[in-house]
Amino acid sequence: MIRKYSFGHPIETGAVVQDLHCEKDKPRTGKIRIDEKGFTYIRPLEKETAIYGLGETVRGINKRGWQYVSENEDQSFHMEDVRSLYSAHNFILLSDSEPLGLFFDYSGRISFDTGYTRADRLIVSCEHADLCLYEITGESLREICRTFRKMTGRSYIAPKWALGYGQSRWGYEREEDFRKVVDGYRKNHIPLDAVYMDIDYMKAYKDFTIDQEKFPDFKRFVSEMKEKKIHLVPIIDAGIKQEEGYDVCEEGLEMGYFCTDREGRPFDTACWPGLTYHPDFLNAKTREWFGNKYRILTDLGIDGFWNDMNEPSVFYTKRTMEEVREKMRKFLSKPAKETAFFELAGLTEEFSSPEIYKDFYHDMDGTRICHDRVHNLYGYMMTRAAGEAFEKISPDRRILIFSRSSYIGMHRYGGIWQGDNKSWWSHLLLNIQMTASLNMCGFLYTGADLGGFGSDTGRDLLLRWLAFGVFTPLMRNHSAFNTRNQECYNFENPEDFAHVIGVRYRLLPYLYSEYVKAALKDDMYFRPLAFDYPMDRMACGIEDQLMLGEGLMVTPIYTQNADGRYVYLPEEMLFVKFIPSGEIETKRMEKGIHYIHVELNEVPLFIRKNHFLPLAAAAECVDDLDEEDLTLLGWITEKSEYLLYHDDGYTRDYETPDHYRILTMDTEDAGGI
């Protein structure tokens, strides 16, 4: 059941698609305080209550005991003390005896104090008492999630090739660089479906341009890659270069499509291209105009994109640059003394801070509104521009789109990647935990930069990370330009990588089926064990294993030098290990705690009893996958069924009943396994 409450004058975010009537009474689940400090929601917390949700945030799956702040931020150094990352997912779930979901539909900065100030209080607060609050009750956390997801609309469905493995790196510049990557993979028989193009493909970092010197005939190059069954996926940045003669800039100025300053002039920002303007994505006309620009690249054969820097990430503005320069002048005019060092060192932070959000404005379809009120919608609306355009540009075939920044509602238009992580073991664990929370908020098509974006990866870290990436819908290896080369063929024994990534393709009939079914049924693809076994106290405390679809449990290894790990089985399951010979080892296991041995080049998983997996033979790309000839793997003590979703992977007719097949497995098959 959903109860909706409205306070003040909420800004329309478009997060909720269901028409719900507003309650007249006060919220039942907590106290509301509205005063000069703004809006506060307070609810007592029982000792046992776990808190879930909040999507893209640091720390564990149970979010209790910290202060999280939704204020989208380019956070390329996220340790466990950061309060905000790239996205605002203001949905939380409480595991009370009557489980509860709360969604705060508010587009500015909002804080979730989950037992940080006082262990027994949930305090949600924001500056303006203009928002909608939704209370969702239901039988279970999973059901509340489904209700929430129905309320916010069906999740984006990516083309099937985008569930293949992709290689990315900031620093591939020209045709040869891309050819080298593709050859490296194909030569070593490591599967590959996509290579990502970072900002260097553009001319002077200008969106929707291609550097002709690096790509003399881009269209031809795209089809050359297509022949090798490779999709090229270019990046699009939020900021538009200020340059005379650059059509996107000139059109934007002429039509008034950019954000404006206090005086109503186009607001000066800076990003990779130097001085930029930021399109006013909160305006429907701007969205339509910008969305249509993607056509420039789809016309050349491109069918996938990633949207970056859309928190928005601004290096500096005219004002902050002038202020910093002024302070430096003062600094230089005085004799050097020790304390001034800190003044100077701190200056870099003054280039960009949330203070700049107060300096510019949007025209939200007729209403002028300051950016700080709608900050968290920016990346969402950029990706909405793309998603809505794709429905016109390519009505029949799906296009891949994922974003760095998001807000709830954006999950209908595209996926997200989890931002600039590091090649740290702790970020592999963060990836596992964050993915569960993102699923609660509707972001099913998601994944982290496998191997880690910043700093140097290790072969062991990359292999372990890939063995988890095998299960995430977005499976992409990405790294920053100044780090160690992270393509799989650059490490010893590339066949180990071929094997691990190959397992992804063997599992794809199941993974794709569960992914699309989860989207169509407003369900979660990944779930914490607490959602499936709420009465099992041990299961509720597990933070490093996930349920995947109906039949699977994943138990990644995320510590260095481990030859395996402890796992907790909440029921009898079949332990399955994909080993490099191509064989599959299986072992029936009792409910309880076990130690499993897993080599660096092996992929472990568990199948619930009387569930089974349809497996394909390994392939080097999605289009080569043979899905007519499937092997069924499971521990069967009674006749069991699996509902397989299978379509061509390209068209958008998801609802056709023809896409479903029922597979059955009986006890006689191979002695129960």
Using CB under 6 A as the criterion, which residues of the chain lie in contact with ligand MIG when the complex forms? Answer: 170, 198-199, 235, 308-309, 404, 419-420, 478
Question: Residue 241: which residues within 8 A CB-CB, separation 6 or more?
Answer: 204, 205, 206, 207, 249, 273, 274, 275, 276
Phi and psi at residue 331, to the nearest 5°: -60, -45
Identity of the residue, 306 or 568, whose beta carbon is nearer to ligand MIG in the bound complex:
306
Q: Which is nearer to ligand MIG, 74 or 496 (CB)?
A: 74
Give the nearest distance from C-beta 407 to ligand MIG in angstroms. Answer: 18
Write down the least CB distance from residue 388 to ligand MIG, Å: 23
Burial of 386 (0-12, 13-18, 19+ CB in 10 A): buried
Shortest reach from residue 309's CB to ligand MIG, in Å: 6
Strands 475-477 and 660-665: unpaired
Closer to ligand MIG at the Cβ: 104 or 215? 215
Answer for the pair 144, 9: CB distance below 8 angstroms, yes or no: no
Residues 639 and 142: beta-carbon distance below 8 Å: no
- Please report how close the Cβ of residue 436 comes to ligand MIG at its closest, in angstroms: 22
Residue 276 or 555 with smaller CB distance to ligand MIG = 276
Minimal distance, residue 235 CB to ligand MIG, in Å: 6
Quote the least distance from Cβ 514 to ligand MIG, whole Å. 27
> In this complex, which beta carbon is closest to ligand MIG, that of residue 43 or of residue 404?
404
The distance of closest approach from Cβ of residue 419 to ligand MIG in the complex, given in angstroms and rounded to an integer, is 6
- CA-CA distance, 536 to 243, in Å (whole number)? 61
| Minimum CB distance to ligand MIG, residue 247 (Å) | 22
Decide the pairing of beta strands 446-447 and 415-417: parallel
Q: Which is closer to ligand MIG, CB of 7 or CB of 351? A: 351
Cα(262)–Cα(620) distance, integer angstroms? 54
* Residues 431, 38: Cα–Cα separation, whole Å: 34
229: alpha, beta or left, given left = phi > 0 and alpha = psi -120 to 50? left
- In the 8-state DSSP scheme, what is residue 266? B
To ligand MIG, the closest distance from the beta carbon of 314 in angstroms equals 11
DSSP assignment of 81-148 = T----SEE--EEEE-SSS-EEEEEE-SS-EEEESSSSSTTEEEEEESS--EEEEEEE-SSHHHHHHHH
Residue 551: DSSP 8-state: T
Residue with tokens 């008492």: 129
The answer to whether 45 touches 115, Cβ cutoff 8 Å, is yes
In this structure, the strands spanning 38-44 and 231-237 are: unpaired
Are the C-beta atoms of 280 and 255 separated by less than 8 Å? no
CB nearer to ligand MIG: give 99 or 312.
312
Give the residue with the Cβ less far from ligand MIG, 147 or 472.
Answer: 472
Output the smallest distance, CB 509 to ligand MIG, in A.
Answer: 30
Q: Report the candidate in 514, 298, 289, 472 with the shortest Cα–Cα distance to residue 396.
A: 298
Kindly tell me which of 73 and 198 has the beta carbon lying closer to ligand MIG. Answer: 198
Distance in Å, CB of 656 to ligand MIG, minimum: 36
Q: Which two tokens stand for residue 513?
A: 């089926």
Q: What's the closest the beta carbon of residue 238 comes to ligand MIG, in angstroms?
A: 11
**Which residue lies nearest ligand MIG, judged by its C-beta?**
170
Query: Closest CB to ligand MIG among 198 and 532?
Result: 198
Q: Which is nearer to ligand MIG, 405 or 610 (CB)?
A: 405
Amino acid at 438: L
Pick the closer one to ligand MIG by CB: 320 or 477. Answer: 477
End-to-end CA distance of the chain: 42
